[in-house]
């Protein structure tokens, strides 16, 4: 019957009398009647161009009404959500069945969700042919969603926070905010930021309306630090993910300090730095809240755990030079280390040796130190000041502060 109608498509426009329940009759087209009756079989197996990894709607029953189906031309955008008729039909017959109009957007979005889930759950890497089929399907979906007749509704739904990461970047899906059309940042920020694949640049206007960025710049590297912190604060991640993101964090920090000059204060406020913790954890803290160990003797007799009880310590993979350029304060200045070393704290907050060293460093004038000592003595009411010049050399690595 279908073949007969297809060969004689003009019959779909033929007017027939349809008797209503009231007893009256009205003229309607044969095509409109046939579109509402369940008489067409759906394809039991996916069509050749359809990705084999994708779910197929299948056959829930033997016959379907044409208005609830689509022809083979639509297989890539509704294959898992609607029954599909194998083969092609005359345009007049398509119009009679309502197939000249796009399918409801809910079915197309269901197909997109099916593609996302299929990709995320795949166990084995797709073959090159299968990947090409999969990408061709995505192009058909994006093309339909960006068409003038549905784009407004599609953008509204796709921008909802609850919708799955749905933009294809060449090897997977990501949220629009994590993708840019191009990048001016020299760092590879995957798997947190991606550049849109060249094969999908034709949909750039549609993607931008949905939240894809125009470009990544150097400040995007700072955003990635915050994304890494949030990702690892949600739950304990695998050791592989911890190592991967620790390497990326180190690359970002090295990138920010590559010119060898201290960071400006506005950038330093946004910088996060990994701290020393358990081997299978990655925790990032603001760089101003973290200290680097500036003297090995601080560690002697004390392990990292005892130090981190009272201060966040920069992760051991971050060099001292990088920590200094980031504006991270040294441990000796930030901690009352006398308590850490087992002494009872008294006197200045920082070690006396460090304080003396800094005083001498700050006074480049050879006589400035002596002048300051005399002034201090005078302020204290002294009538006489004596200096003892000691030529002995102390070879010890540290001096007692008592």
Of the candidate ranges 67-76, 104-113, 234-243, 285-294, the one whose mean pLDDT is the lowest: 285-294
Mean pLDDT of the chain: 85
Per the structure, the complete domain to which residue 36 belongs is given by 2-69+79-100
Name the token pair of 103: 């399918």
The verdict on residue 92 lying in a domain is yes
DSSP state, residue 172: S
The verdict on residue 138 lying in a domain is no
Indicate whether 347 pLDDT > 50. no
How many degrees, rounded to 5, is the angle at CA 209 between CA 205 and CA 211?
Answer: 115
The pTM assigned to this predicted structure is 0.74
pLDDT digits (tens, 9 = 90+) for 259-310: 999 888 889 999 999 998 877 899 999 988 888 877 665 555 455 555 555 5
Q: Name which residue leads in pLDDT, 283 or 391.
A: 283
DSSP state, residue 179: E
d(CA 210, CA 212): 6
The verdict on residue 342 lying in a domain is no
* Predicted pLDDT of residue 395: 66
* Predicted pLDDT of residue 89: 85
Please report which confidence band the pLDDT of residue 133 belongs to, taking 50, 70 and 90 as the band edges.
Answer: very high
Indicate whether 206 pLDDT > 80. yes
Q: How many angstroms separate the Cα of 133 from the Cα of each of 38, 129, 149, 167, 366? A: 31, 6, 26, 17, 78
The verdict on residue 294 lying in a domain is no
The verdict on residue 397 lying in a domain is no
Q: Which residues contact 140 (CB under 8 A, 6 or more apart)?
A: 76, 77
Overall residue count recorded for the chain in this entry: 402
d(CA 382, CA 376): 9
The verdict on residue 49 lying in a domain is yes
Of the candidate ranges 59-63, 192-196, 315-319, the one whose mean pLDDT is the lowest: 59-63
- Report the share of the chain in percent with pLDDT over 70: 84
The verdict on residue 17 lying in a domain is yes
Q: Which residues contact 236 (CB under 8 A, 6 or more apart)?
A: 280, 281
Would you say 337 and 317 are in contact if contact means Cβ atoms under 8 Å apart? no
The answer to whether the bond into 191 is cis (omega within 30° of 0) is yes
Query: What's the per-residue H, E or C state across 175-221?
Result: CHHHEEEEECCCCCCCCCCEECCHHHHHHHHHHHHCCCEEEECCHHH
Per the DSSP assignment, residues forming a β-bridge with 215 are 182
Name the token pair of 353: 């040796």
Nearest to 218 by CA among 191, 242, 253: 253
pLDDT digits (tens, 9 = 90+) for 152-170: 999 999 998 788 999 999 9
> Considering its fold, how many domains does the chain have in total?
1
Q: Name which residue leads in pLDDT, 123 or 250.
A: 250
The verdict on residue 396 lying in a domain is no
Nearest to 80 by CA among 115, 31, 41: 115
């Amino acid at each position: 019957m279908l073949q007969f109608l297809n060969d004689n498509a003009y019959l779909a426009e033929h007017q027939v009398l349809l008797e209503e329940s009231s007893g009256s009759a009205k003229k309607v087209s044969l095509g409109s009647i046939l579109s509402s009756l369940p008489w067409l079989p759906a394809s039991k197996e996916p069509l050749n161009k359809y990705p084999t990894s994708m779910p197929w709607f299948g056959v829930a029953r033997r016959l379907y009404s044409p208005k609830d189906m689509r022809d083979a031309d639509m297989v890539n955008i509704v294959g898992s959500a609607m029954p599909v008729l194998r083969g092609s039909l005359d345009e007049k017959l398509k119009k009679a069945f309502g197939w000249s109009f796009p399918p409801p957007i809910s079915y197309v979005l269901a197909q997109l969700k099916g593609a996302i889930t299929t990709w995320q759950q795949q166990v084995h890497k797709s073959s090159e042919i299968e990947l090409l089929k999969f990408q061709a399907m995505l192009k058909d979906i994006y093309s339909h969603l960006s068409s003038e007749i549905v784009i407004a509704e599609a953008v509204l739904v796709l921008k909802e926070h609850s919708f799955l990461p749905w933009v294809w970047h060449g090897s997977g899906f990501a949220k629009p905010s994590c993708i840019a059309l191009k990048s001016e940042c020299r760092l590879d920020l995957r798997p947190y930021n991606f550049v849109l694949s060249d094969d999908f640049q034709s949909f750039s206007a549609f993607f931008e309306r949905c939240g894809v960025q125009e470009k990544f710049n150097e400040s995007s590297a700072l955003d990635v630090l915050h994304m890494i912190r949030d990702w690892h604060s949600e739950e304990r991640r695998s050791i592989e993910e911890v190592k991967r993101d620790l390497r990326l964090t180190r690359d970002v920090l090295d990138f920010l300090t590559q010119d060898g000059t201290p960071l400006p204060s506005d950038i330093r406020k946004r910088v996060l730095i990994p701290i020393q913790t358990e081997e299978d954890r990655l925790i990032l803290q603001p760089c101003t809240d973290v200290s680097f160990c500036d003297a090995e003797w601080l560690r002697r007799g004390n392990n990292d755990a005892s130090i981190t009880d009272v201060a966040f310590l920069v992760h051991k993979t971050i060099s001292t030079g990088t920590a200094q350029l980031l504006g991270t304060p040294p441990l000796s200045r930030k901690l009352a280390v006398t308590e850490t070393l087992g002494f009872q704290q008294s006197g200045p907050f920082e070690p006396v040796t460090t304080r003396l060293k800094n005083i001498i460093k700050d006074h480049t004038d050879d006589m400035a130190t002596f002048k300051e000592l005399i002034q201090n003595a005078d302020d204290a009411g002294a009538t006489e000041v004596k200096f003892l010049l000691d030529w002995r050399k102390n070879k010890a690595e540290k001096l007692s502060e008592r």
